[in-house]
Structure 1
Amino acid sequence: MKLAGLKSIENAHDESVWAVTWVPATETRPPLLLTGSLDETVRLWKSDDLVLERTNTGHCLGVASVAAHPLGRIAASSSLDSFVRVFDVDSNATIATLEAPPSEVWQMKFDPKGNILAVAGGGSASVKLWDTNSWQHVATLSIPRPEASQATKPIDKSGSKKFVLSVSWSLDGRRIACGSMDGTISVFDVARAKFLHHLEGHYMPVRSLAYSPSEPRLLFSASDDGHVHMYDAEAKTLVGSMSGHASWVLSVDVSPDGAALATGSSDRTVRLWDLSMRAAVQTMSNHADQVWGVAFRPPGGTDTRAGRLASVSDDKSISLYDYS
């Protein structure tokens, strides 16, 4: 497996690019790349040549996260202005505006069937679930606070240590995992809206999570401690730990074939990891500043020729790679 640089767009946004995801293909168009930036805009790019399709405005502060519905027709963007904007990808018409308190939305993901949008609730130490038909809030998955009998230190009543930074759905949609500022990962049973257990091993913020597309139990995490962890999220077992970045690991994604990981780091590099070897096999140095997001393109679309990976950075650029 390897990455080959295809194209980089300098100044793709006017400010740092913090968020990236792929909008799946529909019957009428190929996949699109969706990016969000501190310049308050969301941009859509053609899949293979990174030509700008359109720029979406509507937020009044920087965009922290973007998410795409699995059917490819709608997407969502969250901003530091405390709003989530849900919009039609092709017309840009606003479908819903979801309001959250300040610093309450740091990452979002649609479930595999597209029925629920999960929103990492920041300072509320929770994940909020929104029904995508009615756009009503349907559940809050709260991380349990430590019991006084277990605490050797004063309990952090503000919940700051459990500040939720990242969220991911399992392949079967039965589980949600969220990563917190204190390094813990919390796993929930979605149907019962029930906390199951913590996954431990990191000791600094967990900024990105990705379940395997081929194995529902397998969860990957990226942390400021410089490590990428692989968990059996059902058995609460740390299966493996991979290191190699020189600084914080800010983002992680799994290839559609489940054989590789891509990570982005504040050391300005993108790394490709072979999961059978549990080792980095390639380092890409396209960016001049920290890499906030990496995303493999999902399969699908009649003119989709090969695997693709995209990365975005504080340097305002987007890079596109061939994955083979």
Structure 2
Amino acid sequence: MVQLIPNTTAVRVFEDHTDNINAVAALPDGRRMITASKDNTLCLWDLESGEVLKKMEGHRGALNALAVSPDGKLIASGDTRGELIASHGETGETLTRPIKVHSATILSIDFSPDGAALATGLDDGTTKFVSTRTWRVQGNPIKSSCLVRCVRYSPSGTLLGIATREKIEIYKSGKRQCVAKFKGHRKTNFSLAWTPDGTRLLTGGDHQDPTIREWDISTWKQVGEPWIGHATVIKAIVVNSAGTLVASASYDNHVRLWRLSDQRTIASFQHCALVISVTFSIDGSRILSGGVDKKVSEWAVPEDALPDDNPNGLAPKAPGSDSEDGPKDLAPKDQGSDSKTVVAIQTVVTVQTNVITKTARNTRVTEVLSTAEMVLTETFDAGINNYASYANRSFVMARKSDWDCALQDAIKSLTIHPSLAGYIAQGIALCGKQLVEDARAAFELAFTFTVGNSDATLFLFLIKAIALFNANEHSEAMLCVEQLATDSNADPLVCRVVEASLRVQLGTIAFNGAHHNEAVEHFTAAVKASTFLAKSATPSACKAFTVLFGWELESLWQTANEKLCFALLKAGRLGEALESYKYGMDASDEATRSGLRAWIFTISL
């Protein structure tokens, strides 16, 4: 059992600032940290040598807020003049002039997990959002009734937590819609931190209620008793990447290390003055804290408190999965460590010799899915019940629209081992059952497996959008796809394929309802989005959409053109129909032109 460790001496101190250190952050490379001070400067440090690599100037007010983008490419800092500066994550060079976000003090900032936006909490009670592409304030601010102390995105980026003086407020980050508001602490809520799996929110209170409280995001009810140990304001809270330890910084001059599982203090580290900021090193073996003593202290996490080397070991492989095409998935331990995470998403449904992904045309779908189901069932009959196989069978059952069985298999997979594939399967199955809120919660957990990998996160957003679309949440799904299409980190061709496919479905719905002009609008958008497919192959990444949802993408361009022409004819727009047909013929390769020629003679008005 881990024993409580008394106050101890720091392993090392980092000294250069001339005033309070109000914020500290470790960079993802594990080699460096960044500090922000009341002396108007930031320092970029080498963690190995302890030297200042660069003193970063440019602010005209004391620095209160600091954030590093998930990929480590950007550093953002905010000051008491309401100004924000963006800097290069590698060199520390300033990328922008001071950006006037507001006349009020910026007390907190946080990057969205995809790095596209920066949330800023201000002491006038507003939360504003800055685009990291344009470095301009975007959209309408969130207005709270009182001072905003802390803003933090959930690991998936779908929720934003705001700690104000009076309430804890939770918003859907996309729509900026409030989904929860509750009294966290007796008077003032100072700090927030999400657990890496996104299922819990931790909050820190003030001198009248110097406790940490844990909240269940499914109910927004408190979990267990308040964490007692600090004597006054808890200024900062951070959770280690393994989700096992919590560090808190307090004005009582102490940093406390807690075990999340039982909410107990397992170590306490003492400064000579108020502690304002704290973070874990990237590997989780060190705690870095700063405050009124003008220095950063480095503390060693007790070895017996560290997580096992492989706490989330992968389950055994299914038969036939030894090849590169076998079932793949990532455990939370692998977050951000594999640049191919998106490949894991694309191949979560693979059985034996890719029996599903080799489906050629709709005429064989039923046969192939039945074969896949049989193969997977045989593995269970053989006593091999691993999480990947259950997730894969869940996808198969979802393709067959057997939503009850799909959900049962997803739950079995997650019971054996929580995984990316398991939560995706659960989200898709819940959407199939029209349990949209539960599906959103499942996808929220799926996003915790892509933290630190923007490509995988963006791709997962597309999967979620398609699943929600299939649950008749058309507006939300289309908005998500449109927003992703403007993201510089997203694959534009993949986004266009998804947009075109969904537009074809919307057009078909409108057409079947005899709303022919509305159908024309959707089919026109589909044609424009998929024009590149006229003479190019479908992006390989899109194979996941065929696997998960049965999309026929090889014929997407031709299908969109055919449906547009037919809708125009039905709408009485003969001239436009002929122009559309001519455009399709001119833009297509020979194979598609042959298909269009054959189709034109089959239509009947």
Structure 1, 247-256 or 282-291: larger mean CA deviation = 282-291
Structure 1 spans left out of the alignment, 5+ residues: 1-28, 30-51, 59-92, 145-158, 300-305
Query: Contact between 2:68 and 2:89, CA under 8 Å: does it hold in 1?
Result: no
Cα deviation digits, residues 253-274 of structure 1 (max 9, x gap): 10001101001112x2111011
**Alignment equivalent of 2:119, drawn from 207, 220, 225:** 220
C-alpha displacement at 1:238, in angstroms? 1.3
Which residue number corresponds to residue 71 of structure 2? Answer: 172
Instruction: Determine if the alignment matches structure 1 residue 134 to structure 2 residue 84.
Output: no
Query: Contact between 2:127 and 2:143, CA under 8 Å: does it hold in 1?
Result: no
Q: Which has the larger radius of gyration?
A: 2
Counterpart-to-counterpart distance in 2, 1:212 and 1:201: 17
Counterpart-to-counterpart distance in 2, 1:286 and 1:118: 30
Structure 2 spans left out of the alignment, 5+ residues: 219-605
The residue matched to 2:45 in structure 1 has which SS? strand
Letter in 2 for 1:202: H
Matching of residues 82-121 of structure 1 within 5 Å: 94-121=10-37
Cα deviation digits, residues 97-149 of structure 1 (max 9, x gap): 122445330011111232211110212x11111112222221111115xxxxx
Letter in 2 for 1:277: K
**Alignment equivalent of 2:136, drawn from 211, 226, 237:** 237
Cα deviation digits, residues 135-174 of structure 1 (max 9, x gap): 2221111115xxxxxxxxxxxxxx4xx1111110011111
C-alpha displacement at 1:199, in angstroms? 3.0
Counterpart-to-counterpart distance in 2, 1:164 and 1:131: 21
**Alignment equivalent of 2:187, drawn from 289, 298, 303:** 289
236 and 108 in structure 1: CA distance in 2 versus 1, 3 angstrom threshold? same
Query: Contact between 2:161 and 2:168, CA under 8 Å: does it hold in 1?
Result: yes
C-alpha displacement at 1:53, in angstroms? 7.1
Which residue number corresponds to residue 74 of structure 1? Answer: none
Letter in 2 for 1:127: L
Counterpart-to-counterpart distance in 2, 1:163 and 1:232: 23
Which residue number corresponds to residue 80 of structure 2? Answer: 181
323 and 114 in structure 1: CA distance in 2 versus 1, 3 angstrom threshold? farther
276 and 204 in structure 1: CA distance in 2 versus 1, 3 angstrom threshold? same
Query: Contact between 1:256 and 1:296, CA under 8 Å: does it hold in 2?
Result: yes
138 and 56 in structure 1: CA distance in 2 versus 1, 3 angstrom threshold? farther
Counterpart-to-counterpart distance in 2, 1:201 and 1:117: 25
Letter in 2 for 1:281: V
Which residue number corresponds to residue 193 of structure 1? Answer: 92
- Following TM superposition, where does structure 1 have runs of at least 4 consecutive aligned residues deviating by more than 3 angstroms? 52-58
The residue matched to 1:194 in structure 2 has which SS? coil
Which residue number corresponds to residue 208 of structure 1? Answer: 108
Tell me the number of residue pairs that the alignment of Structure 1 and Structure 2 aligns: 215
Q: Could you tell me the TM-score, scaled by structure 1's length?
A: 0.62
Larger RCO, structure (CA 8 Å, separation 6 or more): 1
Which residue number corresponds to residue 203 of structure 2? Answer: 311
Counterpart-to-counterpart distance in 2, 1:96 and 1:281: 43
**Alignment equivalent of 2:172, drawn from 274, 281, 290:** 274
The residue matched to 1:240 in structure 2 has which SS? coil
Counterpart-to-counterpart distance in 2, 1:140 and 1:130: 9
The residue matched to 2:13 in structure 1 has which SS? strand
Q: Could you tell me the TM-score, scaled by structure 2's length?
A: 0.34
Q: Percent identity?
A: 20
Counterpart-to-counterpart distance in 2, 1:252 and 1:224: 12
C-alpha displacement at 1:202, in angstroms? 1.7
Counterpart-to-counterpart distance in 2, 1:56 and 1:129: 31
Which residue number corresponds to residue 567 of structure 2? Answer: none
C-alpha displacement at 1:240, in angstroms? 2.5
Matching of residues 38-77 of structure 1 within 5 Å: 54=4, 57=7
The residue matched to 1:196 in structure 2 has which SS? coil
Query: Contact between 1:217 and 1:232, CA under 8 Å: does it hold in 2?
Result: yes
Query: Contact between 1:126 and 1:142, CA under 8 Å: does it hold in 2?
Result: yes
Letter in 2 for 1:311: T
**Alignment equivalent of 1:321, drawn from 197, 201, 215:** 215
Counterpart-to-counterpart distance in 2, 1:263 and 1:226: 10
C-alpha displacement at 1:180, in angstroms? 0.2
Counterpart-to-counterpart distance in 1, 2:14 and 2:54: 14
Counterpart-to-counterpart distance in 2, 1:209 and 1:225: 14
Query: Contact between 2:184 and 2:203, CA under 8 Å: does it hold in 1?
Result: no
Cα deviation digits, residues 184-223 of structure 1 (max 9, x gap): 111111333211213333211111111111x223111111
The residue matched to 2:21 in structure 1 has which SS? coil
Which residue number corresponds to residue 155 of structure 1? Answer: none
**Alignment equivalent of 1:246, drawn from 127, 145, 153:** 145
C-alpha displacement at 1:322, in angstroms? 1.4
**Alignment equivalent of 1:143, drawn from 38, 58, 64:** 58
129 and 57 in structure 1: CA distance in 2 versus 1, 3 angstrom threshold? farther
Structure 1, 176-185 or 234-243: larger mean CA deviation = 234-243
Counterpart-to-counterpart distance in 1, 2:109 and 2:3: 29
Which residue number corresponds to residue 159 of structure 2? Answer: 260
Letter in 2 for 1:133: E
Cα deviation digits, residues 282-314 of structure 1 (max 9, x gap): 112031121110111124xxxxxx611100011
C-alpha displacement at 1:231, in angstroms? 1.2
- More helix, by proportion: 2
Query: Contact between 1:183 and 1:201, CA under 8 Å: does it hold in 2?
Result: yes
